[in-house]
Amino acid sequence: MLLQVSKSSWHIYGHHARRSFFQLSKRDKGKWEIITAAGKVSNERSVPKHIQKPPYYYTPQPPGNTNGSPEIKNDEQVNYMRSSGKLAAQILQECGKMAKVGVTTDEIDSYAHERILSLNAYPSPLRYAGFPKSLCTSVNNVACHGIPDDRPLFDGDIINIDVTVYQNGYHGDCSETFLIGDVDERGRFLVNCTRECLNKCIELCGPGVPFKEIGKYIQRYCEEHQLESVSAFIGHGIGSYFHGPPEIYHYDNEVPGKMQAGMTFTIEPILSLGGGEIGILEDGWTAITLDNSRSAQFEHTILITDTGAEILTKEG
């Protein structure tokens, strides 16, 4: 997922306090642990020589360019995308089963790293634009790009785990928000709504459909459910590149362009119980809601087919 300057204002934002059980959002009335600073991040994990690696592993590069015309993939490319997408979905569900009270996000990252390597694939986030870990773990009021660290999961947390794998030269990208222990009613409402919102967006997709219809639907859904889209982050094209065109906006927009068979891209709305504005912690990655309200995210990589859309990151 890419950060983009949109209708939401965003600021560099950081605190030194590690834990707090108070919340500021007027709409998010629940009780949970607010994340205000990153924890201790372990050293980079090694990747064996025989694993195929993306170019940014060897040479530091900025995030991919999402401008331009979306790629139309041929049958061979689509098959590679299906394989990497299926693997990403498998790893995501395995990580979700690990996500329990007392488990640290670094432990989840360690498992994912070794598991992906064991299947002869590469964990795409590692070294991408300098990211230090093999997946993203975003807890409670962390909207996205949370760096796995030594913080254990607490009863009542919600956690988004974002998995991308690079296999046979192609990336597969997906995420899901998991409930930890006894999550309050508002937290469960948020997670269920965000899942439903993504599924409805995918149902809209097919050849000839304007990309903007995704954002327009998300905007309506949020208004109907008194939620807010964290619109600073966008979905993106994906293939042999981690991020490319098209850009998928998660709010009402008039960006031109229509879906065509053979396109592959992600849809990944982040919905918040409070405001949609975010700030970045001092680690340069962790994006938190400015009002400390909880957010949830779900993501799939999809393929536009002749008749609709195929979810490439669906397990099984």
Dihedrals φ, ψ of 3, to 5°? -90, 130
Joined tokens for residue 151? 């913080």
The CA distance from 274 to 141, in Å, is: 10
Dihedrals φ, ψ of 230, to 5°? -80, 90
Q: Annotated binding residues for a divalent metal cation, as ranges? A: 162, 173, 236, 268, 299
The CA distance from 288 to 281, in Å, is: 7
The CA distance from 95 to 297, in Å, is: 16
Residues 147, 283: contact at Cβ < 8 Å?
yes
The CA distance from 174 to 247, in Å, is: 16
Q: Annotated binding residues, as ranges? A: 145, 162, 173, 236, 243, 268, 299
Decide: helix, strand or coil at residue 89.
Answer: helix
Nearest to 238 by CA among 171, 300, 303: 171
Q: Annotated binding residues for substrate, as ranges? A: 145, 243
The CA distance from 111 to 107, in Å, is: 6
Joined tokens for residue 3? 């950060």
Joined tokens for residue 175? 């995420």
The CA distance from 207 to 190, in Å, is: 30
* End-to-end alpha carbon distance in the chain: 24
Joined tokens for residue 176? 């899901």
